[in-house]
Amino acid sequence: MSMLKEGRPTAPVAVEQGDAIPATFTGNRGLMLEEALIFELGDDRTTGVDLEPAPAAPSRLGGLDRSAPIGLAGLSEPETVRHYTRLSRQNYGIDLGVFPLGSCTMKHNPRLNESVARLPGFADVHPLQPVSTVQGALGVMEQLSDWLLKLTNMAAVALSPKAGAHGELCGLLAIRAALEAQGDARSVILVPESAHGTNPATAAFCGYRVEDIPATEDGRVNVAALTARLGPDVAAVMITNPNTCGLFERDMKVIADAVHGVGAFVYCDGANFNAIVGRVRPGDLGVDAMHINLHKTFSTPHGGGGPGSGPVVLSAALAPYAPLPFVERGEDGSLHLIEEETAGEHHAGSFGRMTAFHGQMGMYTRALTYMLSHGNDGLRQVSGDAVLNANYVLRSLEGVLDAPFGAAGPCMHEALFSDKGLAEGFSTIDVAKGLIDEGFHPMTMYFPLVVHGAMLVEPTETESKAGLDQFIGALRSVATRAKNGDPSLKGAPHFAPRRRLDETQAARKPVLSWTPPAPAEAAE
């Protein structure tokens, strides 16, 4: 424990059970300041600046003038900056500590990527510029495509999909276009239990009937059940590899051969490509289409509803049906953006466009920077380190948390635990809330659905052993408390800006607008 010169302990000291923690007058906890809503800080009758009244002028809004005050709170610049700075301190991000969300892969975003993305010509490029003025941007797209094709051993790539699920849609539309070109009206898509949850949703969105394929006891696809269901009505199998349980599908080539044998296609959810990049090429396994989440494998910022990117690689059988646009180099060496459906013999059967423009240039530059700075050998080490860190977490928690597939051999990039063995009345949510008190964002909870009370932890490749040891120690401590039935855990988090919320009620009946309190009645 660190000491001041006076000998006082400076590290936090655990509060004994029963000790009262006096409430502060302000509601603040040390330097973590309590922050009200912006409407509670100011009101719509004041403003942070003084402006002269605007001169009267005829309206040019065609009758669409505002009929009531806008209702925004008036704050000065310091008040506004302080408000949002205080709120930002209540966020948890990868720059603060381990972000162990399984399946989501909250990777570190190298600052070099950010610098390149902000270079003139990338940061200010516009999709409607003449092609002659964006040769460098098209060159980035061409080089990124080349890397993706070589890393996957596939024949074509579509860069325009905006995210993983959008990429799934792209792949299935290409499969549907290929089948329609053959006059083959198939109606069923098979989805194993170990696949990502967006897979069946995408298949249904495309108009297919979805049928589940069960998993084996070791968390992998039941090959016998899959092959028994294959038939002339099956359009494709959507398989996640490595799968949602954090395991590599060892029978992938056997599955692909069986699927191709009945004239169907193999769609691989490549969200977990970060576990095998540089080591396994999906094309060698018989994959026909696969999306690649650039944020998960190649370190671009996680979309969060914003600028995501999910390129799709396609086999030679599906390449003619890839979406537009695509980059093509002319005989004179210049790059062109092919946007016409009839252009180019390689895309003669294209199903059309996925988006209005061409994709996310900021994501392309970041991903390519990551690839070039690592090289093929570096990417191989990235996947190896990700798998090493996940297995370190898995084995370090043996005897503390149940690992349903721990006996099935090493995991890939994420470690999966269950709530089996916790004291009666305690569940995954209690472990997660206890981690918040320890200063960590909780892992993914209750996913995948095939494991009761699932806790999915993905440490990524950039976490140091010291950082992982701290996280493992915290998780061991919280899990032990849950196994021993520590009642204080049911009230966690105790030290966060907000206590435990009714998340079900918040999801079903969210309060999306602020209503000012009723004015107090004047005293008589």
Report whether pLDDT(347) > 90: no
Let me know if residue 411 belongs to a domain. Answer: yes
Residue numbers of the domain that contains 460: 376-499
DSSP secondary structure code for residue 148 in this structure: H
Mean pLDDT (whole number) for 328-347: 78
Let me know if residue 521 belongs to a domain. Answer: no
Across-strand partners of 329? Answer: 335
Residues 434 and 296 in one domain: no
Report whether pLDDT(390) > 70: yes
Q: What is the pLDDT of residue 521?
A: 64
Report whether pLDDT(13) > 80: no
Q: What is the pLDDT of residue 28?
A: 76
Token output for 15: 């509060």
Q: What is the pLDDT of residues 221-271, one digit of tens each?
A: 999 999 999 999 999 999 999 999 999 999 999 999 999 999 999 999 999
Let me know if residue 14 belongs to a domain. Answer: no
% the chain with pLDDT above 90: 67
Residues 246 and 307 in one domain: yes
Q: What is the pLDDT of residue 15?
A: 52
Q: What is the pLDDT of residue 3?
A: 47
Residues 396 and 442 in one domain: yes
How many domains does the structure of the chain reveal? Answer: 2
Confidence of residue 186 (pLDDT cuts 50, 70, 90): very high
Q: How far is it, in rounded angstroms, from Cα 410 to Cα 394?
A: 9
Mean pLDDT (whole number) for 154-180: 95
Q: How far is it, in rounded angstroms, from Cα 376 to Cα 279?
A: 10
Please tell me whether residue 414 adopts helix, strand or coil conformation: coil
Residues 329 and 192 in one domain: yes
Distance of CA 314 to the CA centre of its chain: 22
Report whether pLDDT(153) > 90: yes
Q: What is the pLDDT of residues 194-213, one digit of tens each?
A: 888 899 999 999 999 999 99
- Among 367, 387, 421, the domain boundary falls at 367
Confidence of residue 1 (pLDDT cuts 50, 70, 90): very low
Residues 133 and 162 in one domain: yes
Let me know if residue 15 belongs to a domain. Answer: no
The tally of CA atoms less than 13 A away on the side-chain side of residue 483 is 14
Higher model confidence: residue 500 or residue 227?
227
Higher model confidence: residue 13 or residue 28?
28
Let me know if residue 482 belongs to a domain. Answer: yes
**Residue closest to 211 by CA, chosen among 174, 186, 237:** 237
Q: What is the pLDDT of residues 92-113, one digit of tens each?
A: 888 888 999 998 888 899 999 9
Please tell me whether residue 189 adopts helix, strand or coil conformation: strand
**Please, what is the average pLDDT of the chain?**
89
Report the CATH number that the domain containing residue 413 is assigned in CATH: 3.90.1150.10
**Residue closest to 467 by CA, chosen among 392, 406, 384:** 392
Residues 381 and 346 in one domain: no
Residues 487 and 396 in one domain: yes
Let me know if residue 52 belongs to a domain. Answer: no
Residues 363 and 380 in one domain: no
- Among 314, 339, 367, the domain boundary falls at 367
Residues 298 and 188 in one domain: yes
Is there a contact between 202 and 169 (Cβ–Cβ < 8 Å)?
yes
Residues 357 and 380 in one domain: no
- Among 336, 367, 398, the domain boundary falls at 367
Residues 357 and 420 in one domain: no
DSSP secondary structure code for residue 134 in this structure: -
Burial (CB count <10 Å: 0-12, 13-18, 19+), residue 198 = buried
Let me know if residue 82 belongs to a domain. Answer: no
Is there a contact between 307 and 364 (Cβ–Cβ < 8 Å)?
no
**Three-state secondary structure of 244-294:** CCCCCCCCHHHHHHHHHHCCCEEEEEHHHHHHCCCCCCHHHHCCCEEECCH
Confidence of residue 307 (pLDDT cuts 50, 70, 90): low
**Three-state secondary structure of 205-226:** HCCCEEEEECECCCCCECHHHH
Q: What is the pLDDT of residue 19?
A: 52
Let me know if residue 183 belongs to a domain. Answer: yes
Q: What is the pTM of this model?
A: 0.88
Residues 342 and 429 in one domain: no
**Residue closest to 416 by CA, chosen among 442, 382, 380, 453:** 453
Report whether pLDDT(24) > 80: no
Report the CATH number that the domain containing residue 273 is assigned in CATH: 3.40.640.10
Report whether pLDDT(21) > 90: no
